[in-house]
C-alpha cells in the first residue's frame, strides 16, 4: 500500500508518474467534491479577504494622496502658519477664500501690507483663463502669502486649515461670478455659492474660537427693483438671474448661521468692480480688447432705447470697504458649535453711487485708448442682466469710513493702471 506521502508527491522530484498522478487527482477531486461546502466557505472567505484588502488599500491610497498633496504634511503646515502670522500689534489672521480671484488678490495684498496674517484658498477653476489666477498667485507669493489649491467644498481641508491656525476672520470671496454664464453652467453656482458657502460656515461654526466672517454678496440681489439708489433695506426678492438668486440665498443662509451659532456676519453687496488684475469676462475688459483690435463692440440697450448703466466701483474702494468691515466685525460669540450670545449681522452696499452709462464708459475708454470704437447697439436679451445699478452708500460711509474714486476723472491714475494691465493681457 503506497504511503500517504507517495500518494501526494511524485517519487522523483520533477517527474510525474502519470498513472499514479491521475489516480491521485481523481481521488483528490472526489474528496474535494465531497466537501464542496467547505470549499465554498473558503472561497467566500478568500473573496471577502481580498475585497477588504483592496478597500483598505484604496483608503490608504486616498488618505496618503490627501495628506501628501492637499494638506502637504509638516512643510505645508509650516507654510500655512508662517503666512497666517501677524506683524503688527492687534493684527488679525484672515483666511481669504477666492484669493487668486480679482478682489481676493487685492484684499490679500492690502491685509499683508498692513501687517495682518493671510492664508488664501482657491480652486483655480477655468471660468476664465486660469493662467491669470496663477499669475495673481505668483504676485501673492512674492508678498509671502501662501495660497492653498483647494475647494471650499472640501470639509477635511478647511478643518485642517482651522486646526493649523486659529483664524480670527474669514474673508469669503470664492464664488461662481458672472450673470450670463448661469444659463450655461447653473450647477457651478450651486456648487460654489450655495454648497461651498454652507460647507465653509459648518467649519467656521465648529471652530474654536469661531472666526468673524465678511463675505461678498452682490448688487444683483436688487434684481428688477426700480427705486434708485438701491438701499440695504429695499426688497431683494426679485432676482433676475441664478447668480443673483444664489447671492440672495447666501444672505439668508448666513443669517441662519448668525442666529443659531453666533457667527459674526458681514455681507457686502459689491457694485460692478473694476481695476487692475480685473476679470476678463467683464465688459470694460472685452470692450478695451476689441477696441484695440479694431473689432466692433456690442453695446446693449434697454427697452425704448434706454442706455444701460452701472455703478462702476474702483477696486481700491472695495478693498477699503472689506478691510473696514473686517476691523469692525466684532467677535463671533459661539464656540464648538454652540451660540453663547447674539453676534453682529450686517449688510452693506459697497458702490460708487454715481452710475456711468455703458455708452459713456465706451467714451471714456476711447479717450484713454485714443481709438474710436465701432459700436453695435443691440437690445438687451433676457439673459439675467439688469438695466441699471446705483448704490446708496450712506450706511457704509457711516460705519466703515468714506471712499469713492470717480471713473469720470480723466487724469485718474486708476484708469491708466487698469488700461496698462489690459494692454499687457492682449
Q: Which active-site residues does the annotation give?
A: 243
Query: How far apart are the C-alpha atoms of 163 and 148, rounded to whole Å?
Result: 15
If you search the block for the grid coordinates 470671496, which residue do you land on? 173
On whether the CB atoms of residues 389 and 310 are closer than 8 A, the answer is yes
Q: Report the candidate in 209, 4, 202, 178 with the shortest Cα–Cα distance to residue 92.
A: 209
Q: Which stretch binds ligand NAD (CB under 6 A): 59-67, 173-181, 324-332, 356-364?
A: 173-181
Query: How far apart are the C-alpha atoms of 320 and 110, rounded to whole Å?
Result: 9
Considering the complex, state which of residue 269 and residue 339 has its C-beta at the smaller distance from ligand NAD: 269
Q: Which stretch binds ligand NAD (CB under 6 A): 15-23, 26-34, 120-128, 300-308?
A: 120-128
Q: Establish if 205 lies at the interface with ligand NAD (CB under 6 A).
A: no
The interface with ligand NAD within residues 392-421 (CB under 6 A) comprises none
Query: How far apart are the C-alpha atoms of 247 and 249, rounded to whole Å?
Result: 5
Considering the complex, state which of residue 283 and residue 329 has its C-beta at the smaller distance from ligand NAD: 283
Closest residue to ligand NAD, judged by C-beta, is 101
If you search the block for the grid coordinates 479717450, which residue do you land on? 367
DSSP letters for 156-192: HHHHHHHHH---SEEEE------SGGGGT-HHHHIII
Task: Give me the sign of the Cα torsion angle 71, 77, 78, 83.
Answer: positive
Considering the complex, state which of residue 100 and residue 214 has its C-beta at the smaller distance from ligand NAD: 100
Considering the complex, state which of residue 216 and residue 364 has its C-beta at the smaller distance from ligand NAD: 216
Q: What share of the chain is helix, strand, coil (3-state, %, to 5)?
A: 50, 15, 35
| Among the listed residues 96, 174, 221, 343, the single contact to ligand NAD using CB under 6 A | 174
| Among the listed residues 80, 94, 95, 100, the single contact to ligand NAD using CB under 6 A | 100
At closest approach, how far in Å is the CB of 52 from ligand NAD? Answer: 34
Considering the complex, state which of residue 24 and residue 212 has its C-beta at the smaller distance from ligand NAD: 212
Q: Establish if 133 lies at the interface with ligand NAD (CB under 6 A).
A: yes
| Among the listed residues 108, 168, 210, 218, the single contact to ligand NAD using CB under 6 A | 218
On whether the CB atoms of residues 312 and 326 are closer than 8 A, the answer is no
Q: Which stretch binds ligand NAD (CB under 6 A): 44-52, 69-77, 147-155, 351-359?
A: 147-155
Residue by residue, what is the 3-state secondary structure of 6-17?
HHHCCCCCCCCC
Q: Is 60 exposed, middle or buried (0-12, 13-18, 19+ CB in 10 A)?
A: exposed
Burial 315-335 (b: 16+ CB within 10 A, else e): bebbbbbbbbbbeebebbbbb
Is residue 148 within a helix (H) or strand (E), and if so which, with residue range? strand 146-149
Q: Report the candidate in 81, 236, 253 with the shortest Cα–Cα distance to residue 163.
A: 81
| Among the listed residues 80, 92, 95, 103, the single contact to ligand NAD using CB under 6 A | 103
Q: Which stretch binds ligand NAD (CB under 6 A): 18-26, 88-96, 119-127, 326-334?
A: 119-127
Q: Report the candidate in 254, 250, 224 with the shortest Cα–Cα distance to residue 236.
A: 224
| Among the listed residues 116, 119, 120, 151, the single contact to ligand NAD using CB under 6 A | 151
Considering the complex, state which of residue 145 and residue 152 has its C-beta at the smaller distance from ligand NAD: 152
| Site size toward ligand NAD, by CB under 6 A | 28
| Among the listed residues 192, 210, 254, 325, the single contact to ligand NAD using CB under 6 A | 192
Q: Which residues contact 84 (CB under 8 A, 6 or more apart)?
A: 93, 117, 118, 119, 165, 167
The interface with ligand NAD within residues 238-297 (CB under 6 A) comprises 270, 272-273, 279
**Residues, the chain:** 426
| Among the listed residues 117, 120, 196, 239, the single contact to ligand NAD using CB under 6 A | 196
Q: Which stretch binds ligand NAD (CB under 6 A): 71-79, 80-88, 118-126, 375-383?
A: 118-126
| Among the listed residues 83, 108, 123, 414, the single contact to ligand NAD using CB under 6 A | 123
Considering the complex, state which of residue 24 and residue 329 has its C-beta at the smaller distance from ligand NAD: 329
Q: Which residues are at the interface with ligand NAD (CB under 6 A)?
A: 98, 100-104, 121-125, 133, 151-153, 173-177, 192, 196, 216, 218, 270, 272-273, 279
Amino acid at each position: 500500500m503506497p504511503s500517504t506521502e507517495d500518494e501526494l508527491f511524485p517519487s522523483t522530484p520533477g517527474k510525474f508518474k502519470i498513472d499514479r498522478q491521475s489516480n491521485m487527482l481523481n481521488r483528490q477531486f472526489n474528496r474535494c467534491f465531497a466537501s464542496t461546502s467547505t470549499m465554498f466557505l473558503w472561497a467566500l472567505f478568500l473573496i471577502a479577504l481580498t475585497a477588504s484588502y483592496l478597500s483598505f488599500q484604496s483608503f490608504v491610497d486616498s488618505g496618503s494622496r490627501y495628506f501628501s498633496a492637499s494638506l502637504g504634511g509638516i512643510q505645508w503646515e509650516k507654510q500655512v502658519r508662517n503666512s497666517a502670522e501677524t506683524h503688527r500689534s492687534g493684527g488679525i489672521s484672515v483666511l481669504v477664500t477666492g484669493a487668486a480671484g480679482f478682489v481676493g488678490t487685492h484684499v490679500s495684498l492690502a491685509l499683508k501690507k498692513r501687517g495682518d496674517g493671510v492664508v488664501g484658498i482657491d480652486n483655480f477653476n477655468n471660468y476664465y483663463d486660469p493662467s491669470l489666477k496663477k499669475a495673481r498667485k505668483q504676485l501673492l507669493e512674492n508678498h509671502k502669502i501662501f495660497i492653498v489649491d483647494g475647494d471650499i467644498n472640501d470639509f477635511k481641508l478647511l478643518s485642517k486649515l482651522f486646526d493649523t491656525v486659529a483664524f480670527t476672520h474669514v474673508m469669503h470671496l470664492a464664488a461662481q461670478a458672472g450673470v450670463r454664464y448661469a444659463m450655461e453652467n447653473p450647477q457651478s453656482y450651486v456648487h460654489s455659492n450655495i454648497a461651498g458657502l454652507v460647507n465653509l460656515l459648518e467649519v467656521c461654526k465648529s471652530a474654536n474660537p469661531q472666526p468673524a466672517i465678511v463675505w461678498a454678496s452682490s448688487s444683483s440681489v436688487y434684481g428688477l427693483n426700480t427705486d434708485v439708489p438701491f438701499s440695504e433695506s429695499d426688497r431683494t426678492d426679485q432676482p433676475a438671474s441664478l447668480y443673483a438668486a444664489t447671492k440672495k440665498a447666501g444672505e439668508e443662509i448666513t443669517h441662519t448661521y448668525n442666529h443659531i451659532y453666533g457667527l459674526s456676519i458681514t455681507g457686502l453687496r459689491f457694485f460692478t468692480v473694476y481695476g487692475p488684475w480685473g476679470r476678463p469676462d467683464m465688459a470694460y475688459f472685452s470692450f478695451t480688447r476689441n477696441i484695440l483690435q479694431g473689432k466692433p463692440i456690442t453695446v446693449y440697450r434697454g427697452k425704448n432705447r434706454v442706455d444701460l448703466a452701472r455703478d462702476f466701483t474702483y477696486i481700491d474702494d472695495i478693498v477699503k470697504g472689506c478691510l473696514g468691515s473686517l476691523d469692525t466685525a466684532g467677535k463671533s460669540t459661539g464656540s464648538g458649535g454652540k451660540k453663547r450670545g447674539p453676534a453682529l449681522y450686517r449688510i452693506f452696499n459697497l458702490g460708487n453711487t454715481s452710475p456711468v452709462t455703458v455708452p459713456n464708459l465706451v467714451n471714456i475708454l476711447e479717450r484713454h485708448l485714443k481709438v474710436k470704437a465701432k459700436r453695435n447697439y443691440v437690445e438687451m436679451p433676457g439673459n439675467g442682466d439688469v438695466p441699471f445699478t446705483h448704490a446708496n452708500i450712506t450706511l457704509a460711509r457711516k460705519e466703515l469710513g468714506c471712499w469713492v474714486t470717480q471713473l469720470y476723472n480723466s487724469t485718474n491714475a486708476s484708469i491708466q493702471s487698469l488700461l496698462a494691465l489690459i494692454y499687457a493681457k492682449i
